[in-house]
Amino acid sequence: MRAAPHLRRVHAGSTSCPTPTSLLKPPLPQDNFDLLVIPGGAKGAETMASSSPVQHFVREYLERGKFVGMICAGSMAALTSGLPKQPLTSHPSVRDYLKEDFEYSEDPVVVSGTLVTSRGPGTAFPFALTLVELLCGAKKRGEVAASMVFPLGTFA
C-alpha cells in the first residue's frame, strides 16, 4: 500500500524533478504542453539525444509549431532528431558535432523559428527569459526578470 494512493506514479530524474510516468512514453499529449525542453548535462543529454521517443517529440513539437528548447549538450537532440540545417548553438563540448549540419553560432541564445537553443549553465537565465518572452510576451519577461533581482542591465 502506498502512503498516498490517490497520487499517480511519478519518476524522479537525476535532479529529483518528479515526472508522471504516464508522460514518459509516446504519444505525448502535445495539446497539454506549449514547450518541450531538452536539458544539458553530458551523460543525460547523450541519453536524451539518443532516445527515439525524445527524437519523435522534438520533430512532432516543431511540426506543430510548438516551441522546443535545447540547452548545453542537449542541442545534440537537434542532430539526432534529423532537424534541417538552421541556426543553433550549444555547449562548446559538442560544437564540432553540430557545426557541419547546422548554422552554428556562439551567441548565448539562438532562436530559429520555434527552436530555441542556448550554450550552458552560464546562459540558463537568458535562455529561460527568452522562453518566457516567446510564450508569454515581453511584458511578462520583464516582470520575471525584475523579480529575479538581477544586477541592472543583466538579462533583462
- Catalytically active residues are 72
- CB-CB contact of 99 with 75 (8 Å): no
CB-count burial class (<10 Å; 0-12, 13-18, 19+) for 71: buried
Alpha-carbon gap, residue 74 to 120, rounded angstroms: 9
CB-count burial class (<10 Å; 0-12, 13-18, 19+) for 84: exposed
Helix (H, G, I), strand (E, B) or coil at 112: strand
